[in-house]
A and B are shown apart, each in its own frame.
Chain A
């Protein structure tokens, strides 16, 4: 059943309607084909999403974006995630990858790249993590050495890149100096001499879009591909992640909503002891708790989004939203499998997939332990 959303404008209502149409026709019909087994990449799908305008929603109209507040953009992500978490996560990561140019780029850089990025002609990935620098991003070692022409030679190992090898560009973070003020942000093209990608990781879920490592072996990035100042990289990365983790919170809520919907449908059909299982109080209360978790998670990310839209600090609320929404998704999807009983443990029903997909939401874009760290730091006087 469609979620009854309170949306701020007619424009937003039309956008959600469009999203549901595209998601029902392009995502829900294809998800099983692409997620089964090791997964196959949905060729052309991100092009379609770009053409409909869904890949540039939170960015300014003058560069081809949809000029939508986060409150609305996140609900679009939620609708996508309810049909196909991989596509929603990849869309969120694309938004994250556009963030450095859109927020810290020069006017020339925005004119040069943003229109194609926001139209989905260029789809992006985010390359901050390294094998030994995940949660501790400041420990990254990949180096960017400036040559005599002012261009940069990149050398090092990157890891856990969503859309790795498939994306057209990456927001890349590499070291130009020492310490936490020695990291610089670049807009790296997906095809660069000296850049190779590792074999896709064999993951528990999100099979349709590859996650890879990357090796930079002296690849050259021209000076105009540096975003912001030298040494500004980590503040850019963390600012991007503040909004990115709101995207993940929305994806988690969409996933949880899908699991709840599936469980409710099943509980209305399945009979035991002469009545539908929804009429057994023990099972009905499980569904009630699931619904409460979904609703409260949604309210939490919407609160953070409205703060961001209002231009007030929202970092703490974004971390709370990511923590609450992804933990809710894990619990709700696990309970959905329980509602289905043995059937839920089979691939005949989607709930086992939801459960596998929920787990990663507690891990990426800042583990939920890191979210607690961000939240608790706000308390230190």
Chain B
């Protein structure tokens, strides 16, 4: 089986995240960059399929030079090889333009059976990539999977929502996005880190994908950031004196917020 795992390098959620004043895109220099945690779960799921049977796991990312660190991390966990789409023209792409790039890049990997992704990145949070890719590739997309089994040419996923649980099933090839609860990702091993250095990473520009600069980047995007403002600082909140009726007052507040 041929599995592609989409990964994304994101600003560390613990560091201050900013947009740049110029073109209103992510200011990558202002924060530490890490492999998005949800991607580690997607990689783990691919590795589990590989260990249960036979699969080749290819990591795919679109990102600048330093995204190689995120690729190395995924390779050190045990993936076999990687494709890195690195082109200045992609800078500023919205979700749809990014999906176009990734769909073309998936096409370079050969006969792909399964594309795995996280359900939502911690930076852009569009949560739409798996659906968009399914559309562009003409494949079914099973999103927000908290359980996944792949056998006999079929992917079965369990999706949990506030309303209930859905059992999803699709024939391969398919796109699956995974949720937080799907697994606990392994740590890379020291040997895995050493081995990752020797694994092949193919670097592609958009020309290699048959795309034109006008189709991607800020120019090729339907969505552009018009203005932005930092989140206002937390206000002091509401203080309630407990005069023996503290419990009731807390309940009143929660009811007011429609939390209970």
Residues of A near any B CB (own CB < 8 A): 11, 14-15, 18, 21-22, 48, 51-54, 57, 66
Number of A-B contacts (CB under 8 A): 28
Instruction: Report Cα–Cα, A18/B76, bound state, in Å.
Output: 11
Find out whether the CB atom of A14 lies under 8 angstroms from the CB atom of B187. Answer: no
Return chain B residues, CB-CB under 8 Å to A51: 186-187, 189
Return chain B residues, CB-CB under 8 Å to A11: 193-194
Most buried by B among A11, A22, A52: A52
Find out whether the CB atom of B187 lies under 8 angstroms from the CB atom of A15. Answer: no
**Is B191 an interface residue, CB under 8 A from the partner?**
yes
Return chain A residues, CB-CB under 8 Å to B186: 51
Return chain B residues, CB-CB under 8 Å to A54: 190
Which 10 A/B pairs are nearest by Cβ-Cβ distance?
Answer: A53-B190, A53-B189, A14-B193, A52-B187, A52-B189, A66-B190, A53-B191, A22-B187, A15-B190, A18-B190
Chain A residue at minimal CB-CB distance from B188: A18
Instruction: Report Cα–Cα, A152/B194, bound state, in Å.
Output: 42
Find out whether the CB atom of A57 lies under 8 angstroms from the CB atom of B187. Answer: no
Find out whether the CB atom of A18 lies under 8 angstroms from the CB atom of B187. Answer: yes
- A selection of 17 A-B contacts at a CB cut-off of 8 Å is A11-B193, A14-B190, A14-B194, A15-B193, A18-B188, A18-B193, A51-B186, A51-B187, A51-B189, A52-B187, A52-B190, A53-B189, A53-B190, A53-B191, A57-B190, A66-B190, A66-B191
Residues of B near any A CB (own CB < 8 A): 186-191, 193-194
Most buried by A among B186, B187, B189, B191: B187
Return chain A residues, CB-CB under 8 Å to B193: 11, 14-15, 18
Return chain A residues, CB-CB under 8 Å to B194: 11, 14
Q: How many Å from the CB of A229 to the closest CB on chain B? A: 34
Q: How many Å from the CB of A40 to the closest CB on chain B? A: 21
Secondary structure type dominating chain A contacts? helix
Q: How many Å from the CB of B35 to the closest CB on chain A? A: 11
Q: How many Å from the CB of B141 to the closest CB on chain A? A: 31
Q: How many Å from the CB of B147 to the closest CB on chain A? A: 23
Instruction: Report Cα–Cα, A48/B189, bound state, in Å.
Output: 10
Instruction: Report Cα–Cα, A14/B188, bound state, in Å.
Output: 11
Instruction: Report Cα–Cα, A18/B72, bound state, in Å.
Output: 12
Chain A residue at minimal CB-CB distance from B187: A52
Instruction: Report Cα–Cα, A57/B189, bound state, in Å.
Output: 12
Return chain A residues, CB-CB under 8 Å to B187: 18, 21-22, 48, 51-52
Instruction: Report Cα–Cα, A48/B188, bound state, in Å.
Output: 11
Instruction: Report Cα–Cα, A314/B186, bound state, in Å.
Output: 38
Instruction: Report Cα–Cα, A18/B194, bound state, in Å.
Output: 12
Instruction: Report Cα–Cα, A57/B187, bound state, in Å.
Output: 16
Instruction: Report Cα–Cα, A48/B91, bound state, in Å.
Output: 39
Return chain B residues, CB-CB under 8 Å to A14: 190, 193-194
Q: How many Å from the CB of B44 to the closest CB on chain A? A: 14
Instruction: Report Cα–Cα, A51/B185, bound state, in Å.
Output: 13
Q: How many Å from the CB of A24 to the closest CB on chain B? A: 11
Q: How many Å from the CB of A118 to the closest CB on chain B? A: 11
Return chain B residues, CB-CB under 8 Å to A48: 187
In addition to A11-B193, A66-B190, A66-B191, 12 A-B residue pairs with Cβ atoms within 8 Å of each other are A11-B194, A14-B193, A18-B188, A18-B190, A18-B193, A48-B187, A52-B187, A52-B188, A52-B190, A53-B190, A53-B191, A57-B190
Instruction: Report Cα–Cα, A334/B246, bound state, in Å.
Output: 43
Chain A residue at minimal CB-CB distance from B193: A14
Q: How many Å from the CB of B224 to the closest CB on chain A? A: 36
Chain B residue at minimal CB-CB distance from A50: B189
Return chain A residues, CB-CB under 8 Å to B191: 53, 66
Most buried by A among B187, B190, B194: B190
Return chain B residues, CB-CB under 8 Å to A57: 190
Instruction: Report Cα–Cα, A14/B191, bound state, in Å.
Output: 11
Chain A residue at minimal CB-CB distance from B192: A53
